[in-house]
């Protein structure tokens, strides 16, 4: 089918690469404009824009796909269907009425509608998640389901690993959905509204590892935010020590204690202790906890 693709993130890049190698290669790709990024605030392109250059795909960068000039450019490509994946812009009229669109969403809808479905699935301790292909509608991730497939969340799996697997699954599912759409055989079913849960965007304070919570909860938080956002413990003098990998233990250290010993660094929690395995000092690179302790003073929590 003659396809346009709307996406932004690294997750969307993986799906785009697979789509570009299929018979549904996009005739146009839409992504946001270049923006300042990182600590240096240097202007950088969205990952999808970089992939387009490599793949030789026509690219439109716009602040809003609903702007008249953006709509005109998209319609000029004469698409039969749009594919949306981790795009980050709400699609409104007239596109909703003029162009059928399919969304690649990394959750088992109606569970985890919203901005952070992979993170929330890990944080909550879900045993499984998956990818759902839905028809885009006016509601937020509320359109009817076309295809859905499940994957188990492996013990100890972090966001990076799970997102990669879900992107690969999403890429396969969207090509299958487009094949069915081209043959007039794509069937839709409505979502069960009684089962809806929402995956709110991860708030800045959620990255802080609060020792008033259990070690199991904090371990899930570390995994859910690694490697893209990163969790941290708040040290004295306002410093932050990033935590990229950690394991919950049954040891009881007392909530709020950060204990170094035997090359290990442990955070006492309301229940159990969190052994910090991979940490990242401010302005530095991730390193094993024992290497950090050899080169830095013993850290102390704030307060």
Mean pLDDT computed over 163-182: 98
Listed by start position, the domains of the chain span: 3-199, 204-295
pLDDT of residue 225: 98
3-199 and 204-295 agree in CATH topology? no
Task: Work out the percent of the chain whose per-residue pLDDT is above 70.
Answer: 98
Q: CATH fold of 3-199, please?
A: Rossmann fold (3.40.50)
- d(CA 289, CA 214) in angstroms, rounded, equals 21
186-204 pLDDT, tens digit per residue, is: 999 999 999 999 999 999 9
pLDDT of residue 238: 84
Would you say the pTM of this structure is higher than 0.85?
yes
Q: Is the pLDDT of residue 37 over 80?
A: no
- d(CA 205, CA 215) in angstroms, rounded, equals 17
154-168 pLDDT, tens digit per residue, is: 999 999 999 999 999
39 to each of 43, 120, 174, 282, 283, how far by Cα in Å?
A: 11, 26, 36, 12, 10
106-117 pLDDT, tens digit per residue, is: 999 999 999 999
CATH architecture assigned to 204-295: Roll (3.10)
């Amino acid at each position: 089918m003659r396809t346009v693709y709307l996406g932004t993130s690294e997750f969307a890049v993986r799906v785009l690469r697979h789509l570009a190698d299929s018979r549904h290669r996009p005739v146009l790709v839409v992504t946001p404009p270049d923006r300042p990024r990182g600590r240096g605030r240097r202007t950088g392109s969205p990952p999808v824009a970089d992939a387009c250059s490599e793949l030789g795909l026509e690219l439109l960068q716009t602040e809003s796909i609903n702007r008249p000039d953006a709509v005109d450019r998209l319609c000029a490509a004469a698409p039969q269907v749009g594919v949306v994946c981790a795009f980050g812009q709400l699609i409104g009229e007239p596109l909703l009425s003029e162009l059928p669109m399919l969304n690649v969403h990394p959750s088992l809808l109606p569970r985890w509608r919203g901005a952070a479905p992979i993170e929330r699935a890990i944080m909550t301790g879900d045993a499984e998640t998956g990818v759902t292909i839905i028809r885009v509608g006016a509601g937020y991730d509320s359109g009817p389901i076309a295809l859905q497939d499940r994957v188990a969340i492996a013990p100890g799996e972090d966001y990076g690993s799970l997102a990669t697997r879900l992107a690969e699954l999403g890429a396969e599912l969207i090509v299958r959905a487009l094949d069915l759409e081209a043959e007039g055989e794509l069937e839709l079913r409505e979502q069960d509204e009684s089962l809806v849960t929402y995956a709110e965007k991860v708030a800045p304070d959620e990255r802080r590892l609060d020792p008033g919570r259990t070690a199991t909860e904090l371990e899930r938080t570390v995994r859910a935010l690694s490697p893209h956002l990163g969790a941290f413990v708040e040290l004295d003098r306002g410093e932050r020590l990033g935590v990229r990998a950690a394991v919950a233990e049954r040891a009881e250290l007392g909530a709020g204690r950060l204990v170094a010993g035997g090359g290990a660094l442990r955070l006492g929690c309301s229940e159990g202790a969190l052994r910090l395995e991979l940490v990242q000092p401010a302005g530095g690179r991730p390193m094993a906890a024992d290497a950090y302790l050899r080169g830095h003073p013993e850290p102390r929590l704030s307060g």
